[in-house]
Amino acid sequence: MKISLLIPVYNEAPHLPEFLKLIDEIDLGFAKELVFVDDASRDRSGDILKEYAFKSETRLHRQSVNMGKGAALRKAIDLATGDIIVVQDADFEYQPKDLLVLLPPVVNGHADVVYGSRFKKNGVQVHRTYHYFVNRLLTLLSNLMSGLYVTDMETCYKVFRSDILKNIRLESARFGFEPEITAKVARLRIRVQEHPIAYFPRNYMEGKKITWKDGIAAFWHIFKFNVIAKPKDYILPSMPAKYRIEGTQWL
């Protein structure tokens, strides 16, 4: 069993060494692969990644131009070789120790996809008012359109069986990955769980990338991937039959 952590990086130099030490040393109980995609950072992030002496198995790719988080994740998915794939941000908004709660349901065969929710009560969440209400609204709309009820669609921490994620065609370039993948896994016969996680939001001075424009774009992504996009256009022929819903037309 191998766990692949997909980690997009863009201009994270001030805290990147500390983050790399934490993510490199965390023991997940299984073999671990760190897949970094440097999204054409303009600071020293790329040099820090190349110079760091990793103990974990590591894959590193640098985009030739800045293409966005979604594009970085698509590349990381292609590079990942693990049985389980986890999306991980390269900052400290999310706590890697929460992976010890999110991974077991998939590892033990009780779930196929697990979301880490910032909004399920765990006693430590601190939210910024604007982002809180926008995230809740986007999650509500996503739930209504996808038919998949979660409390935090926009969460970074998502855990997938590799044979599911690698057989879904993705297209979002920036932050549309979250509503896109939620809409697309909702069309599969899979078991989804959600568990509370800690969350410590950073502000724009600390390097937060998402803006109000991405919030507006998310409304379009929710509609596009739940209403316009059809399973036959994004579920690859290699998707295992056990995940397919009977009566759906596939490529």
The reported pLDDT for the residue numbered 199 is: 87
Q: How far is it, in rounded angstroms, from Cα 214 to Cα 221?
A: 10
Q: Please name the residue that has the structure tokens 């969460």.
A: 155
Residue 250 lies in a domain: no
User: How far, in Å, are 23, 65, 234 from residue 40 at the CA level?
Assistant: 21, 5, 27
CATH of the domain at 40: 3.90.550.10
Other CB atoms within 10 A of residue 233 CB: 10
251 within domain boundaries: no
Q: C-alpha angle 207/209/213, rounded to 5°?
A: 145
Domain region containing 200: 2-243
In a domain, 180, yes or no: yes
Using the predicted structure, report yes or no on whether residue 220 has a pLDDT greater than 80: yes
140 within a domain of the structure (yes/no): yes
- Average pLDDT along the chain: 90
Q: Are 145 and 227 in contact (CB under 8 A)?
A: yes
pLDDT 10s digits, 116-135: 999 887 655 555 555 777 88
Q: Is residue 75 part of a domain?
A: yes
The Cα–Cα gap between 85 and 3 comes to 6
Q: CA-to-CA distance for 71 and 212, rounded, in angstroms?
A: 20
Confidence of residue 206 (pLDDT cuts 50, 70, 90): very low
Q: How confident is the model at residue 144 (pLDDT cuts 50, 70, 90)?
A: very high
Q: Is the pLDDT of residue 20 over 70?
A: yes
Q: Is residue 248 part of a domain?
A: no
Q: What is the per-residue pLDDT across 79-106, written as a single tens digit (0 to 9) for each?
A: 999 999 999 999 999 999 999 999 999 9
* Nearest alpha-carbon partner for 82 in 61, 59, 115, 111: 59
pLDDT at 133: 79
Specify the pTM: 0.90
What's the pLDDT score for residue 170?
A: 97
Cα separation, 151 vs 153, in Å, equals 6
Alpha carbon distance 124, 116 (integer Å) = 14
Task: Tell me what the mean pLDDT of segment 182-199 comes to.
Answer: 96
What is the model's pLDDT at position 200? 82
**What's the domain count of the chain?**
1
- 221 φψ region: left (φ > 0), alpha (ψ -120 to 50), beta (else): alpha
- HEC string for the chain: CEEEEEEEECCCCCCHHHHHHHHHHCCCCCEEEEEEEECCCCCCHHHHHHHCCCCCEEEEEECCCCCCHHHHHHHHHHHCCCCEEEECCCCCCCCHHHHHHHCHHHHCCCCCEEEEECCCCCCCCCCCHHHHHHHHHHHHHHHHHHCCCCCCCCCCCEEEEHHHHCCECCCCCCCCHHHHHHHHHCCCCCCEEEEECCCCCCCHHHCCCCCHHHHHHHHHHHHHHHHHCCHHHHECCCCCHHHCCCCCCCC
